[in-house]
């Protein structure tokens, strides 16, 4: 018994000492956290910098992480350690990096975002400086552009500021900074209204009719919302005046951006919509209740001009009505009763449900109406046709009228690959619904985006001065209210005399807009307007319109490749184009990596997730290397630590000590 007590006391002392040592090793101070943003013509460049000091009396790890939107591309990274600067380089993804393999971090990224995280060894009293730059295209939705910056320095910072500059080709309509968003939950679809509130610390300056700056410089008292300082999302929202029917043309050198908004059209098109809802057993509990809550709000929002039907499915399918029903008050009330009676049980027959939906719409299309299918499921096909290739083939063959599907993948068990194959065509898309308290609001917000259609089958053709092979998307099956179209392209032989024609359908009939009418605005950029001050590249590669064109071309090609077999010549050509543009413009994409060469320490690499994964779902990687100055792993997913005393070692030793305590206490 005496021996056991001695061992128990020894184990406790070692465990306490170990935790004390681990606590002491976290003594770092974030001396500055600075974000500079340059938004030009809806294209945002964000530079995040941080200066972190090691306050300990010995070398320790200093960590830096940046959360960025999941559709952004990283373009630059450098760090300065002990006065030495280490620059990242974008290289071919297959580049070997010796022993410093990329390691996935267990950090949980927020919704629709990714995390870049790095830890470096810094000597006692020294400082590490980090700077990361990324770019993204801002999308117009619900009548405005929204730009978010993720903030989480982990403590109150003496030198904290965010500086956002906006330059647009048209007069700014409004610029606002809502209150800091402290969670991922959707509280209000119409973001920016009085419900969300305003950021009282942000200062907005309207520098000219087309430019603005937004500065956020909270003092230390204002940062002390919690002991860990500010954590959340800084948001800027704005819109511009849309007065030209033919849109705005932004031109620099041989590249152009053509921006068109159809908000001025008098009325939205009436729609025929089929709601296809999963009521299988896996939807039981809170999920089915959230779905019902969302549907009550959605059917209430239908307009008298709309027609609709509801199909529920589990092992079998059930139609609320035998066909489309006019969305009058009586029909909406009856549909709510049907939704109220939905009961989750059985398997998942996706094939039959979607074929039923298409059957409801067959023969209903006309130039005056639009058709769509709103499809929600939380799982994989388990009943009827279960082979995913067969389901896609059956649905595509039956969809002779090219009806768009808007697919909602409810929760982590939904078959995203199948939904993307089904829905990412004909103008449709797939969205993830997260299993959280706001799931009903997420569903409702997606419907809010697609509920009003201004035009359909919009096609833009250009004259001979434009290179047809260098154009981004020019055909748009549906154009939703509050959104916009952006076409990017390149002139042939420097001829900037652009001619175009826009055709399609609107509520009043055929839509036809021609450059001959002269109802469009042209902005020829100066060198200062074209050059992005945050991109430290050769002059030609920093020009905003050209980078917008490259960014959009890469994005579209990554989507297009999924429509072809992996070994097809078309897939190979698309990927080759992505690769060349990624290297030319320093974009970290699925085919490229950011590599840091630390002299004498070898290469360290971080890169995007495997191409088989979601297109913009970055896998987060940390650097690993020998001692100072170098990068070290902070993940707990490996079983080795290159320094022999890192976080992995601490976790392993803790496990051993706790195991000893367990054996002694329970007399095993």
Residues 298-311 have pLDDT tens digits of: 999 999 999 999 99
Q: Where in the chain is the domain with CATH 3.40.50.410?
A: 271-451
The pLDDT assigned to 26 comes to: 56
What does the mean pLDDT of the chain come to? 81
Of the candidates 515, 520, 514, 543, the one whose C-alpha atom is nearest the C-alpha of residue 531 is: 543
**Cα–Cα distance, 94 to 475 (Å, whole number):** 35
pLDDT beyond 90 at 629: no
Q: What is the pLDDT of residues 564-577, one digit of tens each?
A: 777 788 888 999 99
Decide: 597 and 86 in contact? Cβ < 8 Å.
yes
pLDDT beyond 60 at 106: no
The pLDDT assigned to 445 comes to: 86
Band of pLDDT at residue 632, cut at 50, 70 and 90 = very low
Of the candidates 251, 258, 260, the one whose C-alpha atom is nearest the C-alpha of residue 496 is: 251
**Cα–Cα distance, 255 to 488 (Å, whole number):** 8
Query: Lowest-pLDDT range, 133-137, 217-221, 562-566?
Result: 562-566
42 secondary structure, DSSP code: T
Query: Once rounded to an integer, what is the mean pLDDT over residues 421-440?
Result: 85
Cis amide bond preceding 82, omega within 30:
no
**What six digits make up the tokens of 353?**
């449900």
Q: What is the pLDDT of residues 506-536, one digit of tens each?
A: 887 888 999 888 788 888 887 777 777 777 6
pLDDT beyond 50 at 99: no
Annotate 239-265 with DSSP letters as a single string: EE----TT-EEEEETTEEEEEE--TTS
The pLDDT assigned to 9 comes to: 55
Torsion of CA 524, 528, 531, 532, to 10 degrees: -120
| pTM across the whole model | 0.83
**Cα–Cα distance, 2 to 175 (Å, whole number):** 74
- CB contact burial 364-375 (16+ within 10 A = b; e otherwise): eeeeebbbbbbb
Q: What is the pLDDT of residues 541-561, one digit of tens each?
A: 668 999 999 999 999 999 888
The pLDDT assigned to 4 comes to: 52
pLDDT beyond 50 at 246: yes
Pick the more confident residue, 112 or 539. 112
The pLDDT assigned to 255 comes to: 94
pLDDT beyond 60 at 637: no
Band of pLDDT at residue 625, cut at 50, 70 and 90 = very low
Q: Which of 247-261, 417-431, 649-663 has the highest mean pLDDT?
A: 247-261
The pLDDT assigned to 164 comes to: 97
Q: Is the dihedral of CA 213, 217, 222, 226 positive or negative?
A: positive
Query: Lowest-pLDDT range, 39-53, 123-137, 178-192, 636-650?
Result: 636-650
Q: What is the pLDDT of residues 461-505, one digit of tens each?
A: 999 999 999 999 999 999 999 999 999 999 998 778 889 999 998
CB atoms within 10 A of CB 17: 10
pLDDT beyond 60 at 97: no
Three-state DSSP class for residue 667? coil
Q: Which of 372-386, 421-435, 595-609 has the highest mean pLDDT?
A: 372-386
pLDDT beyond 90 at 104: no
Which superfamily does CATH assign the domain made up of 271-451 to?
von Willebrand factor, type A domain (3.40.50.410)
pLDDT beyond 90 at 207: yes
Segment 410-414 long-range contacts (CB within 8 Å, at least 24 positions apart): 410/278, 410/283, 410/287, 410/291, 410/376, 410/377, 410/378, 410/435, 410/439, 411/287, 411/378, 411/435, 413/282, 413/378, 413/379, 413/380, 414/377, 414/378, 414/379, 414/380
């Amino acid at each position: 018994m005496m021996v056991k007590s001695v061992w128990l006391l020894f184990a406790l002392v070692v465990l306490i000492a170990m935790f004390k040592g681990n606590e002491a090793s976290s003594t770092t101070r974030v001396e500055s956290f600075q974000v500079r943003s340059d938004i030009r013509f809806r294209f945002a460049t964000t530079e995040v910098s941080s200066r972190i000091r090691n306050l300990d009396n010995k070398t320790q790890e200093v960590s830096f992480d940046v959360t960025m939107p999941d559709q952004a591309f990283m373009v630059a990274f450098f760090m300065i350690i002990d006065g030495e600067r280490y620059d990242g380089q974008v290289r071919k993804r297959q580049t070997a990096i010796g022993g410093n393999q990329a390691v996935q971090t267990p950090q949980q990224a927020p919704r629709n975002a990714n995390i870049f995280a790095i830890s470096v060894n810094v000597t006692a009293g020294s400082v590490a400086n980090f700077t990361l730059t990324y770019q993204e295209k801002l999308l117009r939705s619900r009548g405005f552009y929204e730009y978010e910056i993720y903030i989480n320095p982990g403590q109150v910072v003496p030198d904290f500021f965010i500086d956002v500059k906006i330059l647009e080709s048209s007069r700014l309509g409004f610029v606002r900074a809502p209150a800091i968003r402290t969670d991922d939950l959707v509280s209000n679809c119409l973001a920016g209204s009085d419900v969300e509130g305003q950021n009282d610390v942000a200062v907005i300056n309207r520098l000219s009719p087309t430019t603005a700056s937004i500065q956020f410089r909270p003092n230390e008292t204002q940062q002390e919302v919690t002991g860990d300082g500010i954590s959340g999302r800084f948001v800027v929202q704005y819109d511009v005046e849309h007065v030209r029917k033919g849109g705005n043309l932004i031109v620099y050198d041989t590249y152009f951006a053509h921006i068109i908004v159809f908000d001025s059209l008098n009325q939205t098109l009436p729609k025929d919509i089929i709601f296809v809802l999963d009521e299988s057993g896996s939807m039981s509990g809170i999920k089915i209740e959230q779905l019902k809550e969302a549907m009550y709000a959605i059917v209430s929002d239908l307009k008298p001009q709309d027609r609709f039907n509801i199909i529920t499915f589990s092992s079998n399918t059930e139609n609320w009505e035998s066909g489309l029903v006019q969305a009058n008050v009586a029909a909406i009330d009856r549909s709510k009763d049907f939704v109220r009676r939905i009961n989750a049980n059985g398997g998942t027959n996706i094939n039959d449900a979607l074929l039923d939906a298409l059957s409801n719409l067959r023969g209903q299309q006309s130039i005056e109406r639009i058709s769509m299918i709103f499809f929600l499921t939380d799982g994989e096909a388990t009943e009827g046709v279960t082979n995913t290739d067969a389901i896609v083939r059956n649905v595509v063959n039956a969809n002779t009228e090219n009806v768009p599907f808007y697919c909602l993948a409810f929760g982590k068990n939904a078959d995203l690959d199948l939904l993307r194959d089904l829905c990412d065509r004909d103008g449709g898309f797939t969205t993830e619904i997260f299993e959280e308290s706001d799931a009903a609001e997420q569903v409702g917000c997606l419907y809010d985006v697609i509920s009003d259609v201004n035009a359909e089958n919009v096609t833009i053709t250009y004259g001979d001065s434009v290179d047809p092979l260098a154009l981004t998307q020019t055909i748009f099956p549906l154009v939703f209210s509050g959104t916009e179209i952006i076409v990017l392209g390149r002139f042939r032989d420097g001829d900037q005399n652009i001619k175009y024609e826009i055709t399609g359908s609107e509520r009043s009939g055929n839509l036809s807009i021609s450059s001959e009418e002269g109802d469009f605005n042209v902005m020829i950029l100066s060198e200062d307007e074209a050059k992005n001050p945050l991109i430290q590249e050769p002059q030609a590669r920093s020009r905003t319109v050209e980078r917008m064109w490259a960014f959009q071309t890469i994005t579209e090609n990554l989507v297009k490749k999924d429509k072809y077999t992996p070994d097809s010549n078309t897939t190979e050509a698309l990927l080759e184009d992505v690769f060349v543009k990624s290297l030319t413009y320093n974009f970290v994409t699925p085919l490229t990596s950011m590599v840091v060469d630390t002299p004498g320490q070898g290469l360290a690499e971080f890169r995007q997730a495997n191409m088989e994964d979601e297109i913009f779902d970055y896998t987060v990687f940390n650097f690993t290397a020998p001692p100072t100055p170098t990068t070290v792993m902070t993940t707990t997913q490996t079983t080795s630590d290159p320094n022999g005393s890192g976080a992995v070692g601490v976790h392993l030793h803790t496990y051993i000590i706790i195991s000893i305590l367990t054996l002694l206490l329970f007399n095993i």
